[in-house]
Amino acid sequence: MIDIVTHNGIFHADEVVAVALLRIVLTEKEIFVTRTRDESIIKRGLLNPETFVIDVGGKWVPGMRNFDHHQSLRLRASNMLVFNYIKETFPDSLLSTLMPAITNIMLGISNWDTNGDGIHQKWFEFTPDNKYKNFSQIINGFNRNPKEEEMQDILFSKAVDIAKDFIYNEMYAAEQKQKQKVIYQAGVELTSTLILFDAYCNVWKKPDNDYNYAIMPNAQGWALVSRDADKYPIEGIDDIPGLMFAHKAKFIAIFQGKQAAISAGAKICGF
């Protein structure tokens, strides 16, 4: 079992996300969280190298699993301290492998907690009536009455679950992006403006890619897709055998087979 000690009362996104990160990387471990300001419990935790003490205790000693930042304005918030600890301690974990894709998210959560880079003023200039909520505000919104400790503990657990799902979703998106890059690199250039993929690819429209059209499989058959229907419309293909559907907006056409889609691409691109 893994013990985590953090403070009670009002919770914030940095310690919530820190706990969520540990739940992800220590998924096979049973984790017990104690939320308290009891100095004796916190001190025992600080001295026990098997206990994580997060966002409380006034110590940042990764080797002892102490991750507080309040004693120094130069430190990142607790989520970043734990994030970096995981990177160094569990370098082969999926979370560590995908860390580059979620580092900016973690930095944003840390900056919100510490007002790093003057983020509060920038945010409220962007939405002065607080119309929009960022992720940290959404997590902070789980708080109710800090004097009702039992309810706060329940809400803290719910916030951790939300944060964990959010991180998992970002990890999934990062994994898919990596896979999509592999698919893109395996594409076959039919002309300088048309590329063929043997699997669905959603990154070919990025600014650093040069193709105006792409052919790829989809759920209905084979699709011919335009980067920008206003500049590169899909039109003049009604006579292509195997055409099943052509969108009136001229950004996609569906064919029964790959060869039919290639024939349509050839007619549009002139090869």
Flag whether pLDDT at 209 surpasses 80. Answer: no
Q: Could you say which of 136, 159, 180 is where a domain stops?
A: 180
Domain boundary at 180, 206, 228, which? 180
Residues 192 and 126 in one domain: no
Of the three residues 128, 158, 180, the one that is the final residue of a domain is 180
**Is 169 in the same domain as 241?**
no
- Do 128 and 39 belong to one domain? yes
pLDDT exceeds cutoff 80 at 208: no
- Domains identified in the chain, total number: 2
Band of the pLDDT at 82, cuts 50, 70, 90? very high
What is the model's pLDDT at position 19? 98
User: Which residue, chain included where needed, has tokens 């691409």?
Assistant: 265
| Dist CA 222 CA 255 (whole Å) | 5
CA 189 to CA 47: how far, in whole Å? 61
Read off the pLDDT of residues 11-69 as tens digits, 9 standing for 90 and up: 999 999 999 999 999 998 899 999 999 999 999 999 999 999 999 999 999 999 999 99
Whether pLDDT at 206 is above 90: no
Confidence of residue 210 (pLDDT cuts 50, 70, 90): confident
| Residue 193 near residue 226, CB atoms below 8 Å | no
153 and 220 in one domain? no
Query: What is the Cα gyration radius of the chain?
Result: 25
Per-residue pLDDT tens for 49-61?
999 999 999 999 9
b/e sequence 114-137, b meaning 16+ C-beta within 10 Å = bebeebeeebeeeeeeeeeebbbe
The whole-number average pLDDT for the span 247-264 is: 97
Same domain, 141 and 199: no
Flag whether pLDDT at 159 surpasses 70: yes
Domain with 220 in it = 186-269
| Mean pLDDT estimate for the chain | 95
Segment 149-170 mean pLDDT: 97
- Predicted pLDDT at 207: 62
Share above pLDDT 90 across residues of the chain, in percent, rounded to a whole number: 92
